[in-house]
Structure 1
Amino acid sequence: MPTREELSLLVRTAISEVLGTEAEEVREQTSLAVDHDVDSLELMEIGARLERSLRLRIEVADLTAAQTVGQAIDLLETRTAGRS
């Protein structure tokens, strides 16, 4: 099970690769919708990258429910904690 720090780096890296930014520019308080105007295709690409990296199914509703990067990390932390 990855640590929160590892999940944070993974999430921030996936986002930065899709958006063409630096991972350091993506913080836990970052709102993808407000700060980066992420569209649904970009969001799906981020989700797909995270699914491949974590070998975990992420529901579309989970992706859209997270208001900030930190909330997305919290969600993934909870989901990965349930796996053995």
Structure 2
Amino acid sequence: MALNRTELLELFRTTATEVVEREFGEIDERTEITDLGIDSLGMMEIISTLERTAKVHIPNEQLETIRTVRDLIEVVEKRQVAPGSS
């Protein structure tokens, strides 16, 4: 079953908090990921969790386009419905 937008946002929030080991203020879809202080290793942990939970694979070339939480959620959503996305 595909995760909806709200579930993906909550999963991002929870995972980011665990990876960085600190609480964030408001995180919404417009939040720039770099503004959260998440380094590249932390981002890979977050993406790995999203991929496992949503049962998708995000190609490296798509990762390069992700700047905001919305960008990441949209990539995951598209991969959930695309044939051969897992």
TM-score norm. by structure 2 comes to 0.76
* Larger RCO of the pair (alpha carbons < 8 Å, separation 6+): 1
1:66 and 1:60 mapped to 2: Cα distance?
Answer: 10
Q: Which of structure 1's runs of 4+ aligned residues deviate more than 6 A?
A: none
2:16 and 2:62 mapped to 1: Cα distance?
Answer: 16
Aligned partner of residue 64 in structure 2, secondary structure: helix
Report if the CA contact (8 A) 2:29-2:68 is conserved: yes
1:19 aligns with 2:11: no
Fraction of identical pairs, as percent: 35
Q: Larger helix proportion, structure 1 or 2?
A: 1
Partner of residue 53, structure 1: 53
1:79 and 1:24 mapped to 2: Cα distance?
Answer: 28
CA RMSD of aligned residues (A): 2.2
Change (3 A) 1:23 1:7: farther
Report if the CA contact (8 A) 2:11-2:50 is conserved: yes
Change (3 A) 1:61 1:13: farther
| CA shift for structure 1 position 27 | 1.6
TM-score norm. by structure 1 comes to 0.77
Partner of residue 75, structure 1: 75
Partner of residue 44, structure 1: 44
